């Protein structure tokens, strides 16, 4: 059996390690051609050694230099940035690429990988939010199949399989509500970092966990769903669902209502995205009857989670404003994680700064190229750094 070539960017992160674990159980099916990390050089070396990977990218420069020194005799080509992707993969056609790196800087490698990949799975939210028109253009140009990996979007993707998207009339994505779903508004002033990082269902990085606590992650997921499935914002809504068992609901024009349920485990969408009938079965699945009998869907309390109101002001057509929104949120989430502002202050500043006239003008500016996105990201970051908070 011929092994299928695979690339994993962000192989030492949560999603990357889950992808590695699935491939580990199916080593006879896959050959990894490229791995990347920001700074975890010990783990990426172990991964490269185990899977006989000849090329790795380490984006942190000091860690890159250290790895060059430590591994210089290990028959391993080590690179420092994603600009090397085209040269690394020029002789390889990749069956499956996983992009599991964080931040807007993940957009360029996502686009570069498309031309080399038959199938590409992108977990990088910023790419799908800020650069979807650029990604979509490349997908069409190179006839590459795109697979969303977030549980909500993979569920919609599954539910709409072989169904024309125009035949759906309403789509709901679910939100656990994070750690503060049942916390009284008056107690939000007591929220600290420790409490905000205690997500009830998912184990994620600090940044995305804070986004889940504020429900900003659902604002981003609505934007992603609008982009990926070519939907109108008016046809996508959020429902809180504390158990995170149902991930999406699709209402069709023929009267059917379909939903996709699975345990809150990212192994499931990753496993299915590999789309290989020869994969070893996952562990035995059990129907969670108690959860199905108590789904407990509710509309989001916008007074408790005011950031979802940002959705009402988003332009239907993709614009540079989405880059503003991502940058503003990133800036203040990290200020909160650095203990420089409170949780309530973080939410207030995200809401206020996203509505500044100097930023809202970008709602009318279309996305033309990568340079415009990165330039705007830097401009917004600079402006925010000058604020007295």
% pLDDT > 90, the chain: 83
Residue 35's DSSP bridge partners are 8, 56
Strand 236-240's sheet: what is its strand order? 257-261, 246-252, 168-175, 236-240, 298-299
Residue 175, Cβ density class (10 Å: 0-12 exposed, 13-18 middle, ≥19 buried): buried
Mean pLDDT of the residues in the chain: 93
Q: Which helix (H) or strand (E) holds 326?
A: helix 321-337
pLDDT band at 11 (very low <50, low <70, confident <90, very high): very high
Separation between Cα atoms, residue 342 and residue 201, nearest integer Å: 24
pTM of this structure = 0.93
Q: CB-based contacts of 160: which residues, under 8 Å, 6+ apart?
A: 168, 229, 250
Q: Give the pLDDT score at 389.
A: 74
Mind listing the domains of the chain with CATH numbers? 4-148 (3.40.50.720), 150-312 (no CATH), 315-389 (1.10.1740)
- Look at residue 66 and tell me whether its pLDDT is greater than 70: yes
R_g over Cα of the chain: 21
> Mean pLDDT throughout 129-143?
97
Pull the structure tokens for residue 6: 């695979």
- Look at residue 340 and tell me whether its pLDDT is greater than 80: yes
Tell me the pairing of strands 168-175 and 257-261. unpaired
């Amino acid at each position: 059996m011929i092994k299928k070539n695979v690339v994993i960017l962000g192989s030492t992160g949560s999603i990357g390690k889950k992808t590695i674990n699935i491939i580990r159980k199916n080593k006879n099916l896959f050959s990894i051609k490229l791995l990347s990390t920001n700074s975890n050089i010990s783990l990426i070396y172990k991964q490269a050694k185990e899977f006989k990977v000849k090329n790795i990218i380490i984006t942190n420069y000091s860690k890159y230099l250290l790895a060059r020194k430590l591994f210089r005799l290990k028959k391993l080509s080590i690179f420092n940035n994603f600009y090397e992707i085209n040269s690394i993969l020029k002789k390889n056609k990749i069956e499956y690429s996983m992009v599991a790196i964080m931040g807007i800087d993940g957009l360029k490698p996502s686009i570069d990988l498309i031309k080399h990949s038959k199938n590409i799975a992108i977990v990088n939210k910023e790419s799908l939010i800020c650069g979807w028109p650029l990604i979509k253009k490349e997908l069409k140009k190179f006839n590459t199949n795109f697979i969303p990996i977030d549980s909500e979007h993979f569920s919609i993707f599954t539910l709409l399989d072989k169904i024309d998207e125009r035949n759906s009339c309403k789509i709901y994505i679910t939100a656990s509500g994070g750690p503060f779903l049942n916390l009284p508004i008056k107690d939000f002033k007591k929220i600290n970092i420790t409490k905000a990082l205690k997500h009830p269902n998912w184990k994620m990085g600090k940044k995305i966990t804070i986004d889940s606590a504020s429900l900003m992650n659902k604002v981003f997921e609505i934007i992603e769903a609008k982009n990926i499935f070519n939907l109108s914002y008016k046809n996508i809504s959020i429902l809180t669902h504390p158990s995170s068992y149902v991930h999406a609901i699709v209402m069709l024009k023929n009267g059917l209502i379909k939903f996709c349920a699975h345990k809150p485990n990212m192994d499931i969408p990753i496993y299915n995205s590999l789309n290989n009938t020869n994969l070893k079965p996952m562990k035995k699945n059990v129907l969670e009857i108690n959860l199905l009998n108590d789904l407990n869907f509710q509309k989001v309390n916008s007074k408790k989670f005011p950031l979802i109101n940002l959705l009402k002001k988003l332009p239907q057509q993709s614009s540079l404003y989405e880059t503003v929104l991502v940058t503003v949120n990133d800036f203040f989430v990290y200020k909160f994680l650095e203990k420089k502002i409170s949780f309530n202050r973080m939410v207030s500043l995200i809401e206020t700064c996203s509505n500044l006239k100097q930023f809202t003008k970008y709602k009318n500016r279309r996305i033309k190229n990568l340079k415009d996105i990165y330039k705007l990201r830097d401009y917004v970051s600079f402006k925010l750094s000058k604020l007295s908070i």
